[in-house]
Structure 1
Amino acid sequence: MSEVKKIATRDSYGNALVELGKEHDDVVVLDADLAAATKTGTFKKAFPERHIDCGIAECDMMGIAAGIATTGRVPFASSFAMFAAGRAFEQVRNSIGYPHLNVKIGATHAGISVGEDGATHQCNEDIALMRTIPGMVVINPSDDVEAKAAVKAAYEHNGPVYLRFGRLAAPVINDRPDYKFELGKGVILREGKDLTIIATGLMVSEALEAAETLAAGGIEAKVINIHTIKPLDEELVVTAARETGKVVTVEEHSVIGGLGSAVCDALCAKAPVPVLKIGVQDVFGESGPAVKLLEKYGLTAAGICKSVKEWY
């Protein structure tokens, strides 16, 4: 079997911006002195006149992006998730969300897989923060194919969008002819009758692998990829819950306020079933190699299997 190709979704973001820039001359990319890390440097090289380095001033960058949006152009404001969602939250809320401006926020280096940068840079709260802003779309793609499609969909959507990307290379799992990205629609990746695993971002490939291991032990799990956390595909989530009777959510994010909370909000209202939330359990991250951190926090196929078997 050939080795699975792996690409960091932050690289996908940079490449997708270049392609978008070729097709649309109204695309403007802003960065906060992190173009090499967020990969917007590729856009800067291709379109230097449409790239603005705002320096280490994320709050100012969001205000500038808001101003640019009022001119009819489409700004992509880029930084680490900790700074884009955390440091600049007030500006995102008041200057972008409140007037419902057409600003796209490209947040890279999300989750504990930031690794050696440590707890201060490992943003496990960004999805929760962005979900609370009225009208904000929240997208967390699972691989290179999905990330590129998400950037295009964000451009086509009229309104604020938060795009979450990772530093760690992720397996490419959507490289197939029938793949289709639709904003607000989940994707069934595997059928199963015993429980449903709903995953997002980096955890989708791990959930698929976990499902195969669980099947070998007699537990057949349906696997759903939720790339758009807001608006959530409630119809798909509720239908799956009713079919299998149990739901597991998996995310590289706090179990408070993220995918798990969004799923529980939908299910408690329309299809109450037992739910296990796998993610960062109300703790901060720590410095260390990304792969080792994911193992420690139970965010691997093996960790998912262990948690599901103990709960099931």
Structure 2
Amino acid sequence: MAASDFKTWMGDVQAQMESALSIFLPASTQLPERLHDAMRYSVLDGGKRVRPLLTFAAGHLVNAPAERLQAAAAAVEMIHAYSLVHDDMPAMDNDVLRRGKPTVHVAFGEATALLAGDALQAAAFDVLSERQLADSPADQLKMVHLLARAAGSLGMCGGQGIDLYSVGQALTLPELERMHILKTGALIRAAVLLGSYCGQPLSEAERHGLDHFAKCIGLAFQVVDDILDCEADSATLGKTAGKDAANNKPTYVALLGMKGAKDKAAELKQAAFDALLPFGERAQYLHALAGYIVDRKY
């Protein structure tokens, strides 16, 4: 796929999602206005929309309608946004910059930030369950279960808990990978699989291959995040750079060194590419996204 074609597709999906999220989120004029302002502030006008892009790319694989993909991707992005709001708060990472602007608790206060995160989590399941997104009710129920599992203590929240409890500790590579399979990888995996349920059914072998792709690229995303935290500045990242090292958190760079971390990212990218081989040209956007995720500079 030509780089220009991928860039055009990516811009189109990002524009679709900005519009869809604006519609799915409560209006700023709706009571309670300040809470809804905070929710919209945390979600709109920022971020690469990697998870929605993955949902759409997986949807392309199964010829899914755009309207279904918009809702599934919005649900994932709301969960992601809520996690960032809570992670940035003083009780956790205590950060003041996100997506190039003040974090939600800085802009709206801690109490409103806490409520905004809670409300975004609920809104995600509202969007996911309000309309038909899969051909069968059983598949739609699987979608709700997938996102719930990915967001909870056996997924993203569990990984964040391990991260908090591991500050100052020297984790082994399997322990570090397990933490990030949950903290970062679970929601990325959900983004891919939700997209795959929005269209034509996949065989068990195909779904297994897609799941393996999602796991590889989810880990790769975190490895690259660790690299960029060391190599990029705050203006480029849109968030505070160097915080992991400053807070003595376990990272791939700390464990493997910079070269080892970059080698690990390249290895995971190749494994993701290999998992897509049986899908041929249908996986062109997933293939391009895997390259984008690993080769990105912010």
TM-score normalized by structure 1?
A: 0.29
Superposition TM-score, scaled by structure 2 size = 0.30
**Greater RCO structure (CA 8 Å; 6+ sep):** 2
Q: Relative to total residues, which structure has the larger helix share, 1 or 2?
A: 2
